Amino acid sequence: MEFPFAQPPVAGSVCEVAPGLYWLRMPLPFALNHINLWLLRDTNGWTAVDCGIGLDDTRAHWEKIFSEVIGSTGLTRILVTHFHPDHFGNAGWLTQRFRAPLWMTETEYLTAHAQYETLAGFGSDATATFFSEHGLEAQRVSDIAGRGNSYRKVVGQPPIRFVRMLDGDEIDIGGNAWRVIIGYGHAPEHAALYCKALGVLIAGDMLLPKISTNISVWPTKPESDPLKLFLRSIDRFTELPADTLVLPSHGLPFRGAHHRVQMLHDHHRDRLAEVVDSCSQPRSAADLLPVLFRRALDTHQIFFAMGESIAHLNYLWLQGKLSRSRSADGVYRFLRQIG
């Protein structure tokens, strides 16, 4: 893999990575402490791809960008790859400030509203109950339930209208065609954007250079198989030219998408093998956290780690490599199938 940009821009500044395409980096209050956003010169202004988390320091950095980069032309369109708060958090603020339309896939848009309004199955209580069914200890369950609507704390009021993006759509931005590539597994209907003329893929969270994208099962779809969907989705990136410049949401821009896709397949293959080996006796998703995550986890990290542990178990269970049963204590446990 090749990394053509050694250092990211400091927050509140930009770096041109292709003609008319600029890289912004904004802070996040998590262990994963940053997100990359993108600005594209458009016909009568600028298009933004992703918005940053909805906190005051991110908005202060945006204000600096407005005054020093965007100027009086303003944003004419806001594209959001998916509903997660680091991508969607300022969508309402930006659309209102510039009276600019939000572009998004329908499932991501509706999921953002469901999370914001805590619709059935989307709140911390539902998640805590679900993780309890998969063996998470009582104190951790209580900690997760106590998070309340953590989404609403870092996401402003979502826009009440949007322009729908569909797989294969071609969006004209500044005279260049950007093709929408939908992916699954990390989020319900994640949109990546590919420009053949520039040789650039805005990958969102679907293809990161150093870390593996979180793939989780959530309480609204408890028997889903997001890992299978994710692996199938990233294979689409191998259809792009090998020298495509990949712009990820976390980490540095890179070339070598084909190699990175293979690395991710290898990573999950190895993790799945470890899970199978660990299930020689009945094991819950919580039992497997030390197998999949060899470090101490705080409550925020446990939230995603449990979802990912269930995702690996569901993948193997639905393939028939594990059996699943519910014990007298109400916990689902998985056992390796012989033969």
What are the phi and psi torsion angles at 7 (to 5°)? -130, 145
Domain ranges within the chain, ordered by starting residue: 15-279
What are the phi and psi torsion angles at 136 (to 5°)? -70, 135
CA distances from 330 to 135, 218, 255, 327 (A): 9, 18, 47, 5
Give every CB contact of residue 81 below 8 A, 6+ residues apart in sequence: 49, 50, 87, 108, 187, 190, 191, 192, 193, 202, 204, 205, 249
- Superfamily of domain 15-279, CATH level 4: Ribonuclease Z/Hydroxyacylglutathione hydrolase-like (3.60.15.10)
pTM (2 d.p.): 0.97
Half-sphere exposure in the Cβ direction for 117 (13 Å, CA): 11
- Residue closest to 105 by CA, chosen among 226, 178, 191: 191
Q: Give residue 294's pLDDT.
A: 87
Q: Give residue 116's pLDDT.
A: 98
| CB atoms closer than 10 angstroms to residue 27 | 16
Residues of the chain with pLDDT under 70: 339
∠ CA 107-110-116, nearest 5°, is: 135
Tokens of 16: 């041109």
C-beta separation of 83 from 90 below 8 A: no
Q: Give residue 296's pLDDT.
A: 87
Q: Give residue 278's pLDDT.
A: 98
Report the alpha-carbon distance of residue 179 to residue 265 in Å, rounded.
Answer: 24
For residues 286-300, one letter each, b for 16 or more C-beta atoms within 10 angstroms of the residue's C-beta and e for the rest, the string is bbbbebbbeeebeeb
**Burial (Cβ within 10 Å: 0-12, 13-18, ≥19) of residue 15:** middle
Give every CB contact of residue 138 below 8 A, 6+ residues apart in sequence: 132
